[in-house]
């Protein structure tokens, strides 16, 4: 029987110090890319990707707060997989995942359909930045794919075509919009049997009511786990690698009070920098076989 990540992964992934960060910019400049990475036939090592000079300095500065190595290791991402990342924004994880999967895997960036009505301006800007990033240097990024989806009926690719689906700090938006069940169903459909859904999101205190969760951007683990289980997933493990015990999750402007959004009075800047980025759940779900 396969050993549960609940039992073996959490103690191994020790939380790192969490602190504030001022930027989420992720545009990669072509001149920043190094010579093509060397593969040993099994793919490029994650450490080599994380050290790549093509990565935006602003993104690298957030590594101690987003823990990409520990997070991707917990989710079991390997260079041979087909990985679908849901709404990558400006491409913080794209700078890591596309090169990591370049030789023997396949990176899919799933973005909102730009033709959908009432799209906020920032979303179009993020999509344009992401497309520019992924098409900018084939020697680094390979041939990643951008797939568009509709919010009311999301589809992320052919059924049972992905090994892993990843979503970072998105579920709270879908809960607020009321379409979270459709997203989790689409995750389930695109994954192969045995495939993994990796979720990172802002964590509310247990027992927080739904209205407060929607307003604050923090969700309870109970709610996210229920959404996944309702879609057919099984919870395989939890990690505290993205936890921040300094975060009380009760700020005046919700999670956006904290870095990197920093929606607070200038006089409170040091206070919120001392807290750092949000306390986050890191959950690994699996699509059952058979």
pLDDT confidence of residue 120: 80
Contact 134, 91 (CB under 8 A): yes
The total of other beta-carbon atoms located within 10 Å of residue 41's CB is 6
Residues near 69 by beta carbon (within 8 Å), at least 6 away in sequence: 46, 47, 50
pLDDT tens sequence across 26-74: 333 333 344 456 555 556 799 999 999 999 999 999 999 999 999 999 9
pLDDT confidence of residue 2: 36
What is the model's pTM? 0.85
pLDDT tens sequence across 160-174: 999 999 999 999 999
pLDDT confidence of residue 43: 60
CB burial of 179-216 (b: ≥16 within 10 Å; e: otherwise) equals ebebbbbbbbbbbbeebbbbbbbbbbeeebeeeebbeb
Task: State which fold the 42-246 domain adopts.
Answer: Rossmann fold (3.40.50)
d(CA 159, CA 83): 14
pLDDT confidence of residue 261: 94
Q: What are phi and psi of 50, to 5 degrees?
A: -65, -30
Residues near 3 by beta carbon (within 8 Å), at least 6 away in sequence: none
pLDDT tens sequence across 15-28: 333 333 333 333 33
Chain center to CA of 262: 20
pLDDT confidence of residue 116: 81
Q: What is the mean pLDDT of each run of 10 residues along the chain (290 residues)?
A: 37 33 36 49 81 95 95 97 96 97 97 84 89 93 96 95 98 96 98 98 98 98 98 98 97 96 94 95 96
Residues near 178 by beta carbon (within 8 Å), at least 6 away in sequence: none
Q: Name the nearest CA neighbour of 101 among 145, 67, 136, 131.
A: 145
Give the DSSP H/E element, type plus range, for residue 63: helix 63-66
Q: Burial, 14: exposed, middle or buried (Cβ in 10 Å; 0-12, 13-18, 19+)?
A: exposed
Contact 167, 93 (CB under 8 A): no
3-state helix, strand, coil in the chain (%, to 5): 35, 20, 45
d(CA 1, CA 141): 37
pLDDT confidence of residue 117: 79
266 DSSP assignment: G
């Amino acid at each position: 029987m396969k050993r549960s990540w609940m039992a073996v992964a959490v103690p191994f992934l020790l939380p790192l110090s969490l602190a504030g960060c001022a930027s989420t910019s992720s545009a990669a400049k072509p001149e920043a890319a190094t010579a093509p990475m060397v593969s040993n036939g099994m793919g490029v090592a994650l450490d080599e990707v994380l050290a790549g000079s093509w990565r935006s300095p602003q993104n690298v500065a957030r590594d101690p707060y987003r823990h990409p190595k520990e997070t991707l290791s917990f989710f079991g991402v390997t260079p041979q997989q087909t990985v679908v990342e849901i709404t990558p924004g400006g491409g913080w994880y794209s700078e890591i995942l596309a090169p990591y999967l370049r030789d023997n895997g396949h990176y899919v960036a799933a973005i909102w359909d730009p033709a959908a009505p009432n799209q906020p301006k920032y979303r179009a800007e993020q999509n344009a930045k992401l497309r520019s990033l992924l098409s900018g240097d084939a020697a680094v990024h390979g041939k990643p794919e951008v797939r568009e989806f509709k919010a009311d009926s999301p589809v992320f690719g052919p059924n049972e075509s992905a090994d892993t689906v990843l979503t970072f700090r998105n579920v709270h938006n879908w809960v607020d919009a009321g379409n979270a069940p459709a997203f989790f169903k689409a995750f389930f459909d695109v994954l192969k049997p045995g495939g993994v859904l990796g979720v990172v999101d802002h964590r509310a205190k247990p027992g927080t009511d739904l209205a407060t969760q929607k307003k604050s951007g923090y969700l309870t683990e109970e709610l996210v786990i229920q959404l996944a289980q309702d879609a057919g997933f099984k919870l395989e493990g939890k990690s505290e690698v993205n936890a921040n015990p300094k975060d009380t999750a009760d700020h005046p402007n919700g999670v956006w009070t904290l870095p990197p959004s920093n929606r607070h009075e200038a006089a409170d800047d040091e206070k919120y920098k001392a807290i750092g980025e949000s306390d986050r759940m890191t959950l690994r779900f699996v699509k059952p076989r058979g």
